[in-house]
Structure 1
Amino acid sequence: MSIQISNLNFSYSSSNSTLFEDFSLQFFDGWTCVAGSNGCGKSTLLKLIAGIIEPDGGKILCNGVGGNASTSGVFYCPQETAEIPENLYTAFWSDDNEVRRFFSRLCVTEEMLERYDTLSGGEKKRIQIACALAEQPSVLLLDEPTNHLDSETTKMISDALGDFHGIGIMVSHDRGFADSLCNRTIYLYNEAQSFAGGRDCIACDTYPCGLTKALELRQSGQEQSRGNWERLNSKASSEKQRSARLEAENQKSKARLSKKTISAKDHDAKLKQDIARISGKDRTTGDAKARLETQIRQTEAERDSIKKALRRKEGFSVENTDYSKPIIIEDTQIQAGSYTLQIPHLEIKRGTKFALTGQNGAGKTLFVNHVIGLLEAAGRQGELLYLPQEISYEVREQIFEEFAELEENERGEVLSTLYRLGSEPTRLSAENSAGGGSGEQQVSPGELRKLMIALAVQRPLSLLILDEPTNHMDITSVLALESALASLDCAMIVVSHDKAFLAKITNASLTAERTSPTSGRLSVLSN
């Protein structure tokens, strides 16, 4: 089975630019990961394949038949899980054991169906995936399936999807999850933002491997393209310099052969110049220059045939700080409702970067709130940046107000940091960033997180607490954030289930685990 996309054209009515223009791509049986920056059309591509939105031109064929969600066995799972899947109850109570087994495998119980609105994001995602597999589609489309999931739930879903036989396409920034399922990666990008002289529309590169390897190959390919372009450009420059020298020599030669400076009665001198012209002794520089001009044109043509990857600056630094006082956490018990978490004695020093892991509900957020409370009680809240998993409307308003009130040079520094984190700062203009303007509405949750970070690092910090910082972020932003956080020397507590992300930036580990239904403990795993 295959999906053939041919000469696809699509743009949103609210946009002045074309998203896809003469875009062609093919999908086959097995899992394919679709990656790329925010705004490069990943979710749009899935919705076009599912028939949720219609292209402006071109064709999308599933085994030679025009595809849409109702007729071609295509099932689309969006990022959001607030809506109850339409087939939930009919599939769960189906008489077909082959259908019901997906719910059993993903540990979906009758009790969960009765309280869907109160389920965690991970529980809702398990139900969503079970409903998708129960339909036994020929094409399964997943948009960021691992946001908000702990490692246990992620493993459970990965195992279930591993048995899917058909065309599976996922948009994901989770390298571990994508690598476990995908043997092919499609990387979408805006040509104009990626390559010198590129078109302002989406193109793609295909890699016959998982996401991690594809990113390595992409980076290597970009470095090679820049190296080859610069080598040929340098060669062309050298050849032009040689050509200029030959031209100067040629002009001198012409001056020597000119009869204007010879007396009309000096017949011997004129005869010698005529002989020089006939023998070609002084014509060598001109011939050499002509050959070199041909070589220059060939070198420039070879250079211009290369798609030169644009280099993007990355990383940022926190303002210099005199905060050298460590954060001391005493051995204690903290409580939330009926749940109690035992915390050991901890000393968080500058440069200590903790990875805080554990199952959902084991007490990670409880511990984070305890640390924040200790800093506030000590009057040290100004040293802290806390990036929560979900940002409330009130906090969102405060962020945009803070940005709007910045001086011009300060705003420039914030926008520069945003760019280095993989964003396009033009989306944030001063006139629409405050008071609920259109700029606010256009900023995604991932972009909002990066704006919070960019604002915070303009002041001295002693502790960064990041709760699932990669949720809602594209892979480009994740890699840029990875690089930036790895270079910072302030203390950090990072809550994440992204093992690759944690491995890059942390140097110590904490884990929260349940020891009973009403109690748990926090343990230091390594330093």
Structure 2
Amino acid sequence: MATTLDLHDISYIYDGAQEPLFDGVNMTLPQGWTALLGDNGCGKTTLAKIVCGALTPTHGAVNPSPSTLVVAYCEQECAHEPANLDELRDDWSPEAIALRDALGIGDDWPYRFATLSGGERKRLQVACALHGSPDLLVLDEPTNHVDADTRDAIAAAMRAYRGVGVLVSHDVELIDATCMQCLMFTRRHSDRHNRTVIERYAGGYTKARRTHELRRAEAADELKAAQRKRQALEGSRAARRAMMDAAAARKHGGHLIDRHDHDARNTHKWNEKQADKASAAAYRALGSRLETARREAASIETDAKRYDGDILLDITPSARREPAHVEAGVLRFDDATAHDGCLAVSELDVDGVRWHARAISDADTDAAAQGVRGIRVPRLSVGPRDHIGVDGANGTGKSTVVRALLGSVDDALPTLYVGQIPDADAHARLLARLHALDAGDKAHVLSMLAQLNDDPDRLLRGEEPSPGRTQKLALCLGLLSGPQLIVLDEPTNHLDLHAKRALARFLRGYPGALVVVSHERWFLDEACGADK
């Protein structure tokens, strides 16, 4: 088993791209967990795939080659069954049983992957990735879709892993709990240009972020000092230029000397000649120093500017008393319809704008195994200005409640729904819609994307999309229609931290009806606060 993995001068550029996604990456990945941090679309997943051999770098090499190792890759999406699902299902060794127990995986889950919730699928994905004790393990957003208990179980399983691990995640708690170093993708600005650099920081996210902030402050101070030095030299050079101009004017005063006084005239010429030489030499020296100062200031890299404005929309709340509602009853998990013969294995507790789905501990598990499971709900009502936050453990029916609410909405009501998992063709369809817009609407969508911490230029260049970028584009295109009801199922799953904060700010100020499902309590508090 390899104890370290070395990345030597790694560069990657997509076909048709104008610049590399990243270049000159030299890093060592030791035994234990390394986190890849950065904004959506910055190249984290691309680098992770290079590390595990799924992509070939444009330049550089990984040593030892991933082809010589046992490698496992757990992708972001959980729409498809893991390749080795059958192996885990049929393995009843003590180690496999312990792994299933640690992640809370039911014995029947491998047989009904399509009916599992997003969080249950993710747990099964992680178990399949850990099964077989790979030399190199890459986990790409392993806590997307999962509840707090599952996050803790995944963290414990990661800590027990003894190979080289690479974690792509925006989950601060998970990174702090598992990682010994962080590789941070940062857009840096110098001399009117931006480029992506990858910096190494010891420790988890909290320590890495603190060190990064100190470095950023030092770079900003260094740039200010260099700019002050340049400005001082520009002032000195301008003053020297003025002195030279004054000397030239004095030259013309030589005609005041008696033309017959040759000694005085020669002395005057000699003095002015020496003064000219000294002034010119001083002026040239200042010019050389100024050029050096300008190069120094231009070479200092600082973090590229972020867009921290607000998304502005002119939306009027619906005049309907109830844009969405569901009658009391038991909703089947498979089709979100009320069904008299459905066994409730969970129920929804409603407390104002907070709805919590929880398992019923005394449910008949034998009957539930027959595929007639559901969630018991009271009568649910969403008012024209309500901001409803829905949370709860995986598999308790949160998405079932969302589907039932959407099923009650009148077709005439402008509604925006963004689900948990974008399908494989979603980005291409959304990009085609974007390019079909008129100039004004297109500019508005790109502006909203920038406010959500994305790079519109990279989107338009057609670079390989990340799921986070796809979700942002779906949201921004949907907002053009002026929706009076927005329903978001796990909207933070693929978003970077800056994008999450920007989205929460927008949703809090959104004047229409909102239903948000999330495992991130701070996000629900911000977007659906009771004091809104």
Q: In the alignment, which of 7, 10, 34 is matched to residue 9 of structure 2?
A: 7
Q: Trace 1:468-483 onto structure 2 (pairs within 5 A).
A: 468-475=490-497, 477-482=499-504
Q: Which amino acid aligns with 1:466?
A: L
Q: Distance in 2 between matches of 1:108 and 1:366?
A: 21
In the TM superposition, what is the alpha-carbon distance from 1:358 to its structure 2 partner?
0.9
Percent identity of paired positions between Structure 1 and Structure 2 = 27
Q: In the alignment, which of 310, 331, 336 is matched to residue 331 of structure 2?
A: 336
Q: Trace 1:137-152 onto structure 2 (pairs within 5 A).
A: 137-152=134-149
CA contact (8 A) 2:136 2:165 kept: yes
- Hey, what does 2:487 align to over in structure 1? 465
CA contact (8 A) 2:382 2:513 kept: no
Q: Secondary structure at the match of 1:3?
A: strand
In the TM superposition, what is the alpha-carbon distance from 1:299 to its structure 2 partner?
2.9
Q: In the alignment, which of 19, 32, 53 is matched to residue 55 of structure 2?
A: 53
* Gaps in structure 1 of 5+ consecutive residues: 433-438, 509-525
CA contact (8 A) 2:420 2:491 kept: yes
Residues 354 and 207 (structure 1), Cα distance of their counterparts in 2 relative to 1, 3 Å cut: farther
Q: In the alignment, which of 228, 233, 236 is matched to residue 239 of structure 1?
A: 233
Q: 1:413 and 2:413 equivalent?
A: no
Q: Distance in 1 between matches of 2:157 and 2:70?
A: 19
Q: Distance in 1 between matches of 2:383 and 2:257?
A: 94
Q: 1:35 and 2:29 equivalent?
A: no
In the TM superposition, what is the alpha-carbon distance from 1:14 to its structure 2 partner?
6.5
CA contact (8 A) 1:330 1:345 kept: yes
Q: Distance in 1 between matches of 2:423 and 2:53?
A: 33
Q: Trace 1:64-463 onto structure 2 (pairs within 5 A).
A: 66-69=64-67, 71-82=68-79, 84-91=81-88, 93-94=90-91, 96-189=93-186, 195-196=190-191, 203-215=197-209, 217-218=211-212, 221-222=215-216, 225-226=219-220, 228-258=222-252, 260-265=254-259, 267=261, 270=265, 273=268, 289=283, 292-293=286-287, 295-323=289-317, 333-337=328-332, 338=342, 339-343=374-378, 353-369=387-403, 372=406, 376=410, 381-382=413-414, 384-390=415-421, 403-426=434-457, 445-458=467-480, 460=482, 463=485
Deviations 1:401-445 (A, max 9, x none): 75455332222122222233233334666xx9xxxxxx7x96554
Q: TM-score, length-normalised on structure 1?
A: 0.76
Aligned-pair RMSD on alpha carbons?
Answer: 4.1
In the TM superposition, what is the alpha-carbon distance from 1:483 to its structure 2 partner?
5.2
* Range with bigger deviation, 22-31 or 456-465: 456-465
Residues 126 and 330 (structure 1), Cα distance of their counterparts in 2 relative to 1, 3 Å cut: closer
CA contact (8 A) 1:232 1:302 kept: yes
Deviations 1:58-79 (A, max 9, x none): 3322xxxx2325x424322222
Q: Which amino acid aligns with 1:388?
A: G
CA contact (8 A) 2:10 2:23 kept: yes
Q: Distance in 2 between matches of 1:95 and 1:37?
A: 40
Q: Distance in 2 between matches of 1:326 and 1:174?
A: 38
Q: Distance in 2 between matches of 1:276 and 1:394?
A: 81
Q: 1:497 and 2:501 equivalent?
A: no
CA contact (8 A) 2:50 2:57 kept: yes
In the TM superposition, what is the alpha-carbon distance from 1:9 to its structure 2 partner?
4.0
CA contact (8 A) 1:196 1:309 kept: no
Residues 54 and 261 (structure 1), Cα distance of their counterparts in 2 relative to 1, 3 Å cut: same
In the TM superposition, what is the alpha-carbon distance from 1:389 to its structure 2 partner?
2.3
- Hey, what does 1:514 align to over in structure 2? none
CA contact (8 A) 2:504 2:523 kept: yes
Residues 110 and 319 (structure 1), Cα distance of their counterparts in 2 relative to 1, 3 Å cut: closer
Residues 97 and 321 (structure 1), Cα distance of their counterparts in 2 relative to 1, 3 Å cut: closer
Deviations 1:84-127 (A, max 9, x none): 44554445555742343212222334322333343333333323
In the TM superposition, what is the alpha-carbon distance from 1:26 to its structure 2 partner?
0.7
Q: Secondary structure at the match of 1:110?
A: coil
CA contact (8 A) 2:34 2:165 kept: yes
CA contact (8 A) 1:356 1:496 kept: yes
Residues 469 and 217 (structure 1), Cα distance of their counterparts in 2 relative to 1, 3 Å cut: farther
Q: TM-score, length-normalised on structure 2?
A: 0.76
* Range with bigger deviation, 296-305 or 215-224: 215-224
CA contact (8 A) 2:117 2:395 kept: no
Residues 117 and 413 (structure 1), Cα distance of their counterparts in 2 relative to 1, 3 Å cut: closer
* Gaps in structure 2 of 5+ consecutive residues: 333-341, 343-373
In the TM superposition, what is the alpha-carbon distance from 1:333 to its structure 2 partner?
2.0
Deviations 1:440-467 (A, max 9, x none): x965543332223323444655553322
In the TM superposition, what is the alpha-carbon distance from 1:144 to its structure 2 partner?
1.6
In the TM superposition, what is the alpha-carbon distance from 1:273 to its structure 2 partner?
3.6
Q: Secondary structure at the match of 2:27?
A: strand
Deviations 1:464-505 (A, max 9, x none): 332211233345544543454456566643221234544554
Residues 444 and 208 (structure 1), Cα distance of their counterparts in 2 relative to 1, 3 Å cut: closer
Q: Secondary structure at the match of 1:5?
A: strand
Q: Distance in 2 between matches of 1:132 and 1:397?
A: 29
In the TM superposition, what is the alpha-carbon distance from 1:5 to its structure 2 partner?
1.1
Q: Secondary structure at the match of 2:8?
A: strand
CA contact (8 A) 2:31 2:165 kept: yes
* Range with bigger deviation, 52-61 or 406-415: 52-61
Q: Secondary structure at the match of 1:261?
A: helix
CA contact (8 A) 2:419 2:489 kept: yes
Q: Secondary structure at the match of 2:151?
A: helix
Q: Give the count of matched residue pairs.
A: 488
Q: Which amino acid aligns with 2:233?
A: E
Residues 250 and 196 (structure 1), Cα distance of their counterparts in 2 relative to 1, 3 Å cut: closer
Q: Which amino acid aligns with 2:44?
A: K
- Hey, what does 2:368 align to over in structure 1? none
Q: Distance in 2 between matches of 1:133 and 1:14?
A: 36
Q: Distance in 1 between matches of 2:75 and 2:130?
A: 14
Q: Distance in 1 between matches of 2:21 and 2:458?
A: 16
Residues 386 and 180 (structure 1), Cα distance of their counterparts in 2 relative to 1, 3 Å cut: same
